Structure 1
């Protein structure tokens, strides 16, 4: 294999073809493309739109604003104004006339009518997570891991919980020795600032005790971590998690280019199978001043053994109670009822259970079992987010999302009768549903029009016809104004980056464009709109893909397959890709005569449960055969030479590239594997255990899914590229693979290393070097 040139200029002819683009141009600082809005939110008065932007060529994005009464003017928010801005977090009362929030550790109240904020409490310690209770004269907040209630009518404070670190036994036994007490007092006398801080802390604690009512009984955490503390709206109960953390065997990533000049070890994640944390859900009953832990031992199917165990007939599998992980507790609006979402630690089950707040007994309302793994949009408690769940104002119905039909949809369930109703249905997915201010209807995003489009809808509370509120083809990321009269839309199309639009919240209104951020240099090139196609896979499934076709007069009959990363991600869609550098690179490749295909292979997001779980227990199975079927489609329909096919991708895409080069040498002549997983037993737990179970329990899945076991099959030309400070897919992965290739005597491979890069590259010089090497690989290997 030829050693790649480090300098490649592509503004001149390459193999007879030329392009306006070059790797240097594409991979420079993205600021060359222009400025595009992001992270949009509204002011509390529903008159100002705030967003990140960079209209003045600053080193990075800043906060800008548009007043809807003067929409043509985009202004940078001054530091003084930013300091006065109402925080985005906090809690509105039911009429949305007041908002309570914590700022600089103080409890503050904003009144919408006057636009004024006042300080309600300054206790000398950081107040967190304030919320209006059912009686809105009372505000619950957290302070030092405990819940307090502030009564705004009389200014009193009541402490509801009394969690303490350590154990009751430990507290009683802890006494300073005479020597330790002498050292402490001597230190306080010598160091005035230390003594002042001690006195200030004692004064703050004494003040809190003096204004609080009777202190509840102590509950000792016994070395566990308190999390997800939630108080009921009627202030009768609190729910909380207790997490007992296993001492996972963490790993290190050496940083060879630390500013100190020394090699510094970066702490990193543990490997799959190492996590064994225990999470319990507790209920604090204030009237009884007691705490009880929910018993999950009677959940239906809690001892079920997964189907994959049938592949190990010689091993005895014990029926035992599985560990479960609870969500936060969800209280009804009156505070009298509660539900919890439980997920089994082996990822196979999700239970939604009502909690008897007086006894702690669980009544299972819904169970979803998946022999692959529980996930999907809004189903949650996986590596991509939490579950959609809550109560309707009738205190009888809960809402949640489920993949029961094969697609993630929105459901209601009556906790009294057990009746479950699907509010949405069809071969599409629902994203981010939420209730309107008046609780009379839903707002939600779906893929109903097309898997590659996202539109925003309004729907009656109990279901019915959905009103489509967006109309522009592509992705419509909507943020409602607080009064719900207007909506901002971050809209993009496949060849158009995000721009900001404003629209009244109805289907007939026109969307008004507020930003135009593309630079002249970026606009000068005619960026392609990739063709969305589907081709038939070997098992009959129709596989979606993006296709880039060159002009016939420059076509070189060579093809490049791009494999997106993340596994569970969608890229064959109609909006601006998060892989914008790769998108531009594909335009360059197409200019030079290559045909490029970008496939939403099995495991990709956006196509329902069957597609999502198509890689279960065999990564490098259907996800790889989909790439091969894509190549066969190109050979059959676009006259691609079977001897001129390359493949590349990063992260999961790098993994697939390795599997392709090692196991499908007849199909792929060259491949560039970037930041690749080479052995899934060395990746993290949260992602990998979902798909492949645990290595010690299901070694078959890991053996057939890890490229390092198939390295002897390498025949084509392979480029491996990896950042040395990658704390996601560790550099160790490719070091181990390179040793394997050396031992196998393989010659047609090389490695490019990037000493300052993590998993996602940030330096333009690194991007440029990497993609020069990729292009040179394809030019030399496919166009000989």
Structure 2
């Protein structure tokens, strides 16, 4: 063998070794313990960002694992440097105190104080518990003596006071004198001021029920009288003589809390009640201080949620007038609405779906339409902010591609539309007050979450979070790249879908298919975004030889109002129709085992999963239904009536859509799962369905989680839960 041949042989063996090494580095299999019982796949994030110095710097929380402390870190944008402003080690009332845990913090507007609070259970950040102040000039740290735990804490605009809710009443605290003053006196557990009942908080996504006026002299607040709302009891099993927790929960067709909007003068304590009309069976889902003195904007929504009005109220007299009305044949979605009041005190911007897609409109204060700013057969997602000096607004959108979200700017005259984020997938935005900078959190199905700093031209200034360790860990596993596709239904509707095939996919083999669904109105699961632990669990099943399939059926979001409206008064029908259409499509593929198609989902997805195994029993072999609604009469007023009207006006729709009325159709395998302390979708839903299945002599499996709420989590609960679901799927699909 000559030297050239020897060299070729060495190169050949090196190539084989390289290929073998590469194959070994990404050949690991995901496990339930890795996903649900460890922190192996936890990524980093920029926690609790607060903009400072008008937007030229920002702070965030960072954990020092060596010292076991949490630091408030300042990022200097100009110099791209970071420094520790304050460590939790420095926060002690007395030297003998144990380590202080920073859970939530806020700078005063003048940036002289930092407020520290606890966090209360809620859909988003809800400050509360004990509260503390740190003086950045004197380094003094002290507890604000409130006597009892408080909630919804914030600084006044002049930084001289704190405001908060205690015992259902509003209070202000003077920082210099360290004295507290009560502003409302009728809060008593039934009447509540400055915060919300369960259904407002859950379905209108609002946590904080009061607002300082821009000059800090007044506070506008919600008052809810809960006395008409029926009480329910959530059973507890943690004592010998088990007891219950009472809560007020208005089920579809029942009476809601009576809402009022008050404005209190902080100086003299006088409360003026705003005129919101004579009809009491309404909702007030939003209020805003306008840029004009003593003026409050109030959003009024009728009980059926198909008529929205914007009122302007004089806070000194309570007098109000309607300046804007939005109506829809089905529902007006207030959760999607954006409102902005211009500093010229003459104009406001509002979003609406009135032309079939969500877009921005410019009005004057008389209610006259000036112009539609964005237009086209695509939807804006969210208003980020308006730069009045440059006459542009910033917003997120997929711009016709509902799978993604990017940051855009457009001039207020509707011209100059420009995309700013240069990333694939989905970007969420945190804008600086001066609108010079944006913190962009981006991910895709191919990329874990990363965080960038960009300027208002779209230039990337820095990569703040790379998550390199998570990417390295994931590279050791044999993951499959999800495929996006569309299917066309028999009546010609194109639906977006996503498929995860086994990484070692062989088109000559046949594979079982597990559908994952949520399916609810306005939702989307077919998105180009990193999916976290659940996505990895789907990847684990794909490694086990399952195809994972998702589809956004009619009624879901991102496709315009008519695409959503089709499900009105008829929940369940089009969702099942489209899932069956998708199953029929999959059955035509040579690599799909048509006898092994299943479905799983949680909450609304649990409802649809249970309904699918009954109505689609010819196509689906098994279903896992977690925390399902089984009859819409059991769910709350705001959500249910938005899409179904009331049981009194739509009795047939309620009965037709009920899983409990179809128990005799069960042919396949069904696993029902519910937390006994679920205060959202009550355990009652599963209990009633179980009773109907027993009456129909049907065999099924059921698992309940004592004391667990709608999220069914805590300790090893998620690990046990997904082990249960995994075993069920392996045994029955």
Q: Give TM-score, length-normalised by structure 1.
A: 0.73
Hey, what does 1:211 align to over in structure 2? none
Report the Cα distance in structure 1 between the residues aligned to 2:270 and 2:72, rounded to whole angstroms. 50
Report the Cα distance in structure 1 between the residues aligned to 2:562 and 2:427, rounded to whole angstroms. 26
1:463-482 to structure 2, matched below 5 A, reads 463-481=414-432
Aligned residues of 2:50 and 2:106 also touching (Cα < 8 A): no
Hey, what does 1:500 align to over in structure 2? 451
- Any idea what SS the aligned residue of 1:450 has? coil
Aligned residues of 2:287 and 2:298 also touching (Cα < 8 A): yes
Hey, what does 2:607 align to over in structure 1? 655
1:305-704 to structure 2, matched below 5 A, reads 321=279, 323-327=281-285, 329-335=287-293, 337-356=295-314, 360-375=318-333, 378-379=336-337, 388-416=338-366, 418-426=368-376, 427-436=378-387, 441-448=392-399, 450-460=401-411, 463-481=414-432, 484-509=435-460, 512=463, 514-516=465-467, 517-518=469-470, 520-550=472-502, 551-552=505-506, 555-564=509-518, 568-577=522-531, 580-704=532-656
Unpaired runs of 5+ in structure 2? 1-26, 93-99, 118-129, 195-208
Hey, what does 1:279 align to over in structure 2? 259
RMSD: 4.4
Hey, what does 2:230 align to over in structure 1? 249
Hey, what does 1:728 align to over in structure 2? 680
Report the Cα distance in structure 1 between the residues aligned to 2:490 and 2:543, rounded to whole angstroms. 31
Report the Cα distance in structure 1 between the residues aligned to 2:72 and 2:189, rounded to whole angstroms. 48
CA shift in 2, pair 1:66/1:529, >3 Å: farther
Deviation at 1:238, TM superposition (A): 6.1
Report the Cα distance in structure 2 between the residues aligned to 1:529 and 1:502, rounded to whole angstroms. 27
Report the Cα distance in structure 2 between the residues aligned to 1:44 and 1:727, rounded to whole angstroms. 39
Aligned residues of 2:45 and 2:451 also touching (Cα < 8 A): yes
- Within the candidate set 230, 238, 242, 1:263 is matched to 242
CA shift in 2, pair 1:369/1:140, >3 Å: same
Of Structure 1 and Structure 2, which has the larger fraction of its residues in strand?
2
CA shift in 2, pair 1:328/1:732, >3 Å: closer
Aligned residues of 1:224 and 1:244 also touching (Cα < 8 A): yes
Report the Cα distance in structure 2 between the residues aligned to 1:751 and 1:223, rounded to whole angstroms. 37
Report the Cα distance in structure 2 between the residues aligned to 1:26 and 1:478, rounded to whole angstroms. 31
Aligned residues of 1:130 and 1:141 also touching (Cα < 8 A): yes
Aligned residues of 1:35 and 1:55 also touching (Cα < 8 A): no
Report the Cα distance in structure 2 between the residues aligned to 1:630 and 1:442, rounded to whole angstroms. 39
Deviation at 1:718, TM superposition (A): 1.5
Could you report, residue by residue, the CA deviation over 1:739-764 in whole angstroms, capped at 9, with x for unpaired residues? Answer: 211111113x2223333533223257
Hey, what does 1:36 align to over in structure 2? 44
Report the Cα distance in structure 2 between the residues aligned to 1:439 and 1:590, rounded to whole angstroms. 50
Report the Cα distance in structure 2 between the residues aligned to 1:378 and 1:729, rounded to whole angstroms. 23
Aligned residues of 2:73 and 2:86 also touching (Cα < 8 A): yes
CA shift in 2, pair 1:512/1:141, >3 Å: closer
Report the Cα distance in structure 2 between the residues aligned to 1:508 and 1:575, rounded to whole angstroms. 22
Report the Cα distance in structure 1 between the residues aligned to 2:269 and 2:438, rounded to whole angstroms. 46
- Any idea what SS the aligned residue of 2:356 has? coil
Report the Cα distance in structure 1 between the residues aligned to 2:67 and 2:613, rounded to whole angstroms. 43
Report the Cα distance in structure 2 between the residues aligned to 1:87 and 1:767, rounded to whole angstroms. 26
Aligned residues of 1:23 and 1:768 also touching (Cα < 8 A): no
Report the Cα distance in structure 2 between the residues aligned to 1:34 and 1:103, rounded to whole angstroms. 26
Report the Cα distance in structure 1 between the residues aligned to 2:709 and 2:466, rounded to whole angstroms. 32
Report the Cα distance in structure 2 between the residues aligned to 1:106 and 1:36, rounded to whole angstroms. 27
1:150-299 to structure 2, matched below 5 A, reads 163-165=184-186, 224-227=191-194, 228=209, 230=211, 232-233=213-214, 239-256=220-237, 258=238, 263-268=242-247, 270=249, 271-282=251-262, 293-297=273-277
Could you report, residue by residue, the CA deviation over 1:360-392 in whole angstroms, capped at 9, with x for unpaired residues? Answer: 44332221112322216532xxxxxxxx32310
Aligned residues of 1:752 and 1:770 also touching (Cα < 8 A): no
**More relative contact order, 1 or 2 (CA 8 Å, 6+ apart):** 1
CA shift in 2, pair 1:364/1:561, >3 Å: same
Q: Give TM-score, length-normalised by structure 2.
A: 0.77
Aligned residues of 2:570 and 2:653 also touching (Cα < 8 A): yes
Report the Cα distance in structure 2 between the residues aligned to 1:668 and 1:401, rounded to whole angstroms. 41
Report the Cα distance in structure 2 between the residues aligned to 1:483 and 1:399, rounded to whole angstroms. 19
- Any idea what SS the aligned residue of 2:594 has? coil
CA shift in 2, pair 1:592/1:487, >3 Å: same
Deviation at 1:414, TM superposition (A): 0.2
Report the Cα distance in structure 2 between the residues aligned to 1:128 and 1:514, rounded to whole angstroms. 30
- Any idea what SS the aligned residue of 1:487 has? strand
CA shift in 2, pair 1:86/1:482, >3 Å: farther
CA shift in 2, pair 1:35/1:324, >3 Å: same
CA shift in 2, pair 1:672/1:497, >3 Å: same
Instruction: Give the greater-gyration-radius structure (CA).
Output: 1
Q: What is the number of equivalent residue pairs in this alignment?
A: 661
Could you report, residue by residue, the CA deviation over 1:680-720 in whole angstroms, capped at 9, with x for unpaired residues? Answer: 21222332222222334432221111101001101112122
Hey, what does 1:314 align to over in structure 2? none
Report the Cα distance in structure 2 between the residues aligned to 1:433 and 1:81, rounded to whole angstroms. 36
Deviation at 1:130, TM superposition (A): 4.1
Deviation at 1:401, TM superposition (A): 1.9
Report the Cα distance in structure 1 between the residues aligned to 2:334 and 2:509, rounded to whole angstroms. 40
Deviation at 1:672, TM superposition (A): 1.5
Could you report, residue by residue, the CA deviation over 1:110-150 in whole angstroms, capped at 9, with x for unpaired residues? Answer: 89xxx78899x9998999644447xx9x9896898679899
Hey, what does 2:205 align to over in structure 1? none
Deviation at 1:293, TM superposition (A): 4.2
- Any idea what SS the aligned residue of 2:677 has? coil
Report the Cα distance in structure 2 between the residues aligned to 1:665 and 1:58, rounded to whole angstroms. 57
Aligned residues of 2:283 and 2:303 also touching (Cα < 8 A): yes
CA shift in 2, pair 1:465/1:750, >3 Å: same
Hey, what does 1:190 align to over in structure 2? none
1:29-108 to structure 2, matched below 5 A, reads 29-42=37-50, 44-45=52-53, 50-51=59-60, 56=65, 65=73, 67-68=75-76, 78-80=87-89, 89=106, 92=109
Deviation at 1:248, TM superposition (A): 2.5
CA shift in 2, pair 1:468/1:110, >3 Å: farther
CA shift in 2, pair 1:546/1:363, >3 Å: same
- Any idea what SS the aligned residue of 2:694 has? helix
Unpaired runs of 5+ in structure 1? 1-18, 167-220, 299-320, 380-387
CA shift in 2, pair 1:357/1:675, >3 Å: closer
Name the stretch that deviates more: 440-449 or 616-625.
440-449
Report the Cα distance in structure 1 between the residues aligned to 2:560 and 2:66, rounded to whole angstroms. 42
